Every structure is written in C-alpha cells, then in structure tokens.
C-alpha cells in the first residue's frame, strides 16, 4: 500500500514506530480482516472504517493513551500496533501495553523490534517509569513477546479482563526503567 513519508518517533533496523492517524483506517482495517484467525480469541481490533475512526480517535485524543503503529521502515506498511493504555502520572508514571501483529508480519521478529522501540519511547520522551503487560495464559505468543523483551512475571489474576463475552484470567508482567537500564 502506498505511503507518504511518515514522522517516525523511533527507528530500528527493520521497523519504526509512529502515532496512529485517522488516514490509517483503510490499511489498518484491511490488515485486521486478513488477521482474524490469528487474533481470535485474544483481541478484536477494529475491522470497519467507522470502528477504526472511533478507536483511533480515542488513542489520538486521550492523554492517558499513546497509540503506536509498528511499520516496516522502508515501505511504511503497518505490521502491528502497540498501545500504551491507562497512563497514570504523578508518583506512578506507569502504562499498560496492549498489542497485536498482523498476519502478514507474524513470526518475523518485527513486533519484538517494535516493542523495543516502544519501551525506549515510553521510558524516554514519555517519561514513564513502569510498563505492564496483562496476557491470557494460553496466549503463548504474547507471553513470549513479554518475556523476550525483559518483562518479569509478577503474578496471576483470575477473571481480570472482560474479553469476548467472559471474564478472562491474565498473567501480569512488568518492566521498569531500572530493569531496562541494567539489561
């Protein structure tokens, strides 16, 4: 899909991250529809223009959220998304990550590279101290991404988040700025 030159917040060898825009709707929703089998039952990103506009609008306008697209650096194609949700300032300086890869990019290590860029952005320009990931125990790909990025397992919460018509158990993972600095 053709792209204009985007403003990247951070770049790695193969991917870069940037904020969501409303103009990303056609590509994002097409990728979502292509990826339904990969995403279910873990996540349900918007697959229509109307749903995308509402979703992206919240990410763009809400200061307690930072919606970030992971894009192939050379082509600009969207490979996935990593959102920093529930950003709490003050003494907490924390955000919760939610993410998904699109089927055409799955298994290529692009999201791992993108997550590293998001962590750097969160602990750098955003000024956060802690990031959290909550993932369903059966979502092995999501857990592997958290583990591979250096997040530590902090616990298990039964019936934590309402997803797809039921309260789902989640494992809790976290990373602090100090943990990242110490490698």
Could you say which DSSP state residue 83 is in? E
Q: What is the pLDDT of residue 123?
A: 98
Torsion, Cα of 27, 17, 19, 173 (10° steps): 100
- Contact criterion met (CB below 8 Å) for 135 and 142: yes
Which pTM was predicted? Answer: 0.94
- Contact criterion met (CB below 8 Å) for 154 and 50: no
Q: What is the pLDDT of residue 1?
A: 45
- Contact criterion met (CB below 8 Å) for 74 and 85: no
Q: What is the pLDDT of residue 41?
A: 87
Tell me: the pLDDT tens digits for 135-178?
999 999 999 999 999 999 999 999 999 999 999 999 999 999 99
Q: Is the pLDDT of residue 111 over 50?
A: yes
Give the max Cα distance, the chain. Answer: 44
Mean of all residue pLDDT scores within the chain: 94
- Contact criterion met (CB below 8 Å) for 65 and 78: no
Q: What is the pLDDT of residue 6?
A: 63
CA 87/CA 116 separation, integer angstroms = 18
């Amino acid at each position: 899909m053709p792209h204009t030159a985007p403003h990247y917040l951070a770049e790695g060898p193969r991917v870069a991250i940037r904020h969501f825009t409303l103009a990303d709707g056609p590509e994002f929703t097409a990728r979502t529809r292509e990826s339904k089998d990969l995403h279910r039952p873990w996540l349900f990103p918007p697959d229509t223009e109307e749903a995308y506009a509402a979703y992206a609008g919240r990410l763009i306008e809400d200061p307690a959220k930072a919606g970030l697209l992971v894009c192939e650096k050379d082509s600009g194609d969207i490979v996935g998304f990593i959102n920093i949700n529930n950003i709490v300032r003050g003494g907490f300086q924390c955000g919760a990550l939610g993410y998904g890869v699109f089927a055409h990019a799955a298994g290529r290590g692009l999201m791992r590279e993108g997550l590293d860029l998001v962590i750097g952005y969160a602990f750098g320009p955003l000024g956060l101290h802690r990031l959290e990931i909550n993932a369903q125990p059966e979502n092995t790909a999501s857990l592997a991404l958290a583990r591979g990025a250096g997040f530590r397992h902090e616990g298990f919460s039964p019936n934590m988040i309402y997803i797809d018509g039921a309260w789902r158990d989640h494992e809790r993972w976290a990373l602090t700025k100090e943990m990242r600095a110490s490698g």
